[in-house]
Amino acid sequence: MANKSNQSWLDRHLNDAYVKQSQKDGYRSRAAYKLLEIHKKDKIFRPGIRVVDLGAAPGSWSQIAVREVGRKGEVIAVDLLPMQPIDGVRILQGDFLDETLQAELAAINKGQPLDLVISDLAPNITGDKSVDQPRVIGLVEAVLLFSKEHLKAGGSMLVKIFQGDGFDLYVKEVRQSFERVVIRKPDASRSESREVYVLARNYKL
């Protein structure tokens, strides 16, 4: 049964229009188009800003970020997994909540706060919502904590979350720290997926 399910996923993946387009456009994954859609609508990037991409591997979001911020900007990609280099992107391997990694991040930015934190992080999915959803909420809480510690006043956060238990409470918590919070469901996000993106603007330092 598992083999049939895996084969079905593989067939769908290989026939996915966004997967095919990402191969043509040189993006490392179809997730690039989710970020592109959000940026087109909400203009989250600007030339010269400092951006940290959490859970960045394989790197499609960092590819977009570094192009949009330009040479005067800064993009730092963080992931537990190793990543192939991306021109103009600083890559840090490790846990983004680890004090050593955060010290390295601060050194790179010379103590300057961030303009934008983006995260397409997701836990390893078991298929059991009672296990998966708490893991999701734990991750997005960690991203929020990181953002509150490193964003400048007026900064922004974009984080992937899955709808379910804890979703409404998380959005309410985000609203306490940011002046404007919206939920986005890009067309590139599969319709059957519970994933959405919380975009929080104007951090109230």
When the pLDDT of each residue in the chain is averaged and rounded to a whole number, the result is: 90
Helices (DSSP H) in the chain: which residue ranges? Answer: 2-15, 17-25, 32-42, 60-69, 99-108, 129-150, 167-177
User: What confidence tier does 63 reach under pLDDT thresholds 50, 70, 90?
Assistant: very high
Domain residues for the domain of 138 are: 31-203
| Residue 14 pLDDT greater than 60, yes or no | no
Pairwise CA distance, residues 35 & 94, whole Å: 23
43 within domain boundaries: yes
184 within domain boundaries: yes
**Which regions of 85-126 does DSSP assign to beta strands (E)?**
89-93, 114-119
User: What is the share, in percent, of the chain residues with pLDDT greater than 90?
Assistant: 74
Amino acid identity, residue 119?
S
Provide the domain count of the chain. Answer: 1
Q: What is the pLDDT of residue 15?
A: 63
Judged by average pLDDT, the poorest of 22-26, 70-74, 149-153, 156-160 is 22-26
Pairwise CA distance, residues 28 & 102, whole Å: 26
For residue 58, say if its preceding peptide bond is cis, omega within 30 degrees of 0. Answer: yes
pLDDT 10s digits, 83-121:
999 999 999 999 999 999 999 998 998 889 999 999 999
Of 76, 71, 63, the C-alpha closest to 112 is 76
15 within domain boundaries: no
164 within domain boundaries: yes
4 within domain boundaries: no
Examine the residue annotation and report whether 4 is marked as an active-site residue of this protein: no
57 within domain boundaries: yes
Name the pTM for this structure: 0.90
Classify each residue of 101-114 as buried b or exposed e, where b means 16 or more C-beta atoms within 10 Å of its C-beta.
ebebbeeebeeebb
16 within domain boundaries: no
CATH assignment at residue 156: 3.40.50.150
Amino acid identity, residue 197?
Y
**Annotated active-site residue in 34, 41, 110, 160:** 160
The residue assigned the tokens 């404007």 is 180
More confident residue, 29 or 201: 201
